[in-house]
Amino acid sequence: MKISEIVKMLDARVLCCEDKTDREVDSAFGCDLMSDVLAYVNDQAMLLTGLVNPQVIRTALMLDMVCIVFVRSKEPSKEMIELARENGIVMMSTNKTLYTSCGLLYSGGLIGTGEVCK
């Protein structure tokens, strides 16, 4: 699914790297615990989170993620936006909850990522 489709689906506002919204995203992971993201994401994915701190971007960089969606109208700092821009990560914000955002993406055909939790 193209990031531009995700923007429309989530009625999101793109915060940086608008020129990269033609990229494809194959899967998504929704979580506020970056330790869980590191433990369960094993492929390039999109991250949906309500956590707004620089560790979110650093985690995304470690996993080669191409897109971060902040849910519940969360707004990252200017420094976070600049860090994402420098690294080519599309960043957006939606007023939808994490649950609703993930549900909309899943019903639209985007699969989840990560291992099954035991």
pLDDT tens figures, 46-75: 999 999 999 999 999 999 999 999 999 999
Residue 8 is part of which domain span? 3-112
Q: Is residue 117 part of a domain?
A: no
Spatial separation of the C-alpha atoms in residues 34 and 2, rounded to whole Å: 24
pLDDT at position 114 is: 60
φ/ψ (deg, to 5) at 19 = -75, -5
Query: What's 76's domain CATH number?
Result: 3.40.1390.20
Residue 60, domain member (yes or no): yes
The pLDDT tens digits for 5-21 are 999 999 999 999 999 99
Number of separate domains in the chain: 1
Predicted structure pTM score: 0.92
Residue 71 lies in a domain: yes
Chain-centre distance for alpha carbon 84: 12
Residue 20 lies in a domain: yes
